[in-house]
Chain A
Amino acid sequence: MISFDFEYYRPQSITNAADIFQTLEESGKNPVFYAGGTEIISMARMSSITTGAVIDVKEIPKLKAMEFNGDDLVIGAGVTLTQIHEANLFPLLAQACARVADHTIQNKITLGGNLCGTIIYREAVLPLLLTNAYLVIASVKNARRVPINEVFSKRMQLNRGELLVQVHIPRNYVSCPYVHVKRTKEDKIHYPLLTVCALLTDNQVRAAFSGLVNFPFRSIEMEEALNDINLTLEQRVEQALNKLPATVPDNLEGSAGYRTFILKHLLTSIVNELETGNVTNS
């Protein structure tokens, strides 16, 4: 049970959502955009957040889109992880979505919620980082289409009142050979000790990670090391490990040494699988 009161709004258009956000903001309601709502409800129940109004955006038509349009696969921010998995239009993203939380909660979590939430893992972002996806972001002032790498740095860098509307994934990436691996400490349903998404494009391996450090990331420096054909595979992996963007944490989920041990072996097998064309996903 949520112990405090808030107002509920369900706008039918982006303009309507942006306008009502501004109005509520100006009246001191501290509104939040609400899609799947799993994180907001959990945190509200614990009184970790308070708000005077939630704006439920997931039924706005543009946020429900999921289709190929021209050179892009367009997925609305209100599409659930289950819908992405079931449609399987981009298998790497479908697999990443199918390993977030559990199946029933995937029926509620949206792509936008996974990207914009406060839980640090945000595993759905990994395939988007690898494919140079674009994000459509709207506010009361305008709508803009920006490369994900300009907006996602450790977490989504949205301004107050901005709403993630859609993700546009270049079509040429959706059928690239890929590997998705998630390792957890215990059960299958758990936060990742380490999740790796990798794909092969133009004979180059790209890789993005969650759980390894305190934010999801793709590292161009690590990829350059992994793709250095002048070195042995073992040397390439060692070079990549030296280019991690942050210190690997020691915590109850796993020691830094254990995470690094898993990473080293996963990178070796993933690069080998992609380069030899012998891909087995897990």
Chain B
Amino acid sequence: MLQILNESLIELHINGEIRKALARPSDTLLFFLRERLGLTGAKPGCENGDCGACTVLVDGWPVKSCLMLAAEAIGHEVTTIEGLDKVPIQQAFVDKFAFQCGYCTPGFIMNCQGLINIHPDASDEVIHEWLQSNICRCTSYQEIMEAIRSVLPSQ
């Protein structure tokens, strides 16, 4: 049985690498990524699961890292925005002007990347359903929609 009783060195698979750092059992994955590993791409917003700015992929599925313990990620594959290497959705956000201030952008891109991988045949209804998990204060929703449409094979 895996057990972590206090602040300990834990090992996570992040962006294709094994990363080790100290973590309290009560540290969220978001805190661990940013404060222990310096991976600041996942943004703290509401830290309550509402805004989606902290979205990362866990085993390919988008997850709000503020609502996951770092300890829970042991044995799973975590991908952050730093782990994407010029994938089409990143260029599409540039081409479609799908951001203004950019704070929500990593979270949106990770959610979009999850959708592209899992449902490359997504309909507009499915895209809407997935994108409702993230909030853009600058209201770039239409441009974000165009960006993801431009890279989905089904569109």
Question: Which residues of A are in contact with B by a Cβ distance under 8 Å?
Answer: 1-2, 4-12, 16, 20, 37-38, 41-42, 44-45, 54, 56, 82, 98, 101-105, 107-108, 187-189
Contacts and interface: CB of A to CB of B under 8 A. Distances in A.
A189 to B, nearest CB: 5
Given A37-B68, A105-B67, A107-B62, A16 B132 contact: no
Interface string B55-80: 10000011110111101101000000
Given A103-B132, A104-B62, A37 B2 contact: no
Contacts of B64: 104-105, 108
Given A6-B25, A102-B132, 14 more contacts: A5-B26, A7-B5, A10-B2, A37-B67, A54-B69, A56-B72, A103-B62, A103-B132, A104-B62, A104-B130, A105-B49, A108-B67, A188-B132, A189-B133
Contacts of A5: 6, 24-26
A6 B25 CA distance: 6
Contacts of A12: 1
A105 B133 contact: yes
B123 interface: no
Contact of B4 (A7, A20, A102, A104): A7
A245 B133 CA distance: 34
A102 B61 contact: no
B3 interface: yes
A8 B67 contact: no
Contact of B26 (A44, A56, A98): A44
B27 interface: yes
Nearest to A8: B25
A78 to B, nearest CB: 12
Nearest to B6: A5
B111 interface: yes
Contacts of B27: 1-2
Given A44-B26, A107-B62, A188-B132, A10 B48 contact: no
Contacts of A102: 52, 132-133
B31 A1 contact: yes
The listed residue with most B CB atoms (<10 A of its CB), out of A37, A41, A189, is A41
Contact of A104 (B5, B63, B72, B74): B63
A104 B71 CA distance: 19
Given A6-B26, A104-B55, A16 B1 contact: yes
A8 B47 contact: no
A11 B68 CA distance: 18
B28 interface: yes
The 8 closest A-B pairs by CB, nearest first: A104-B133, A8-B25, A10-B2, A102-B133, A2-B26, A8-B71, A8-B4, A38-B67
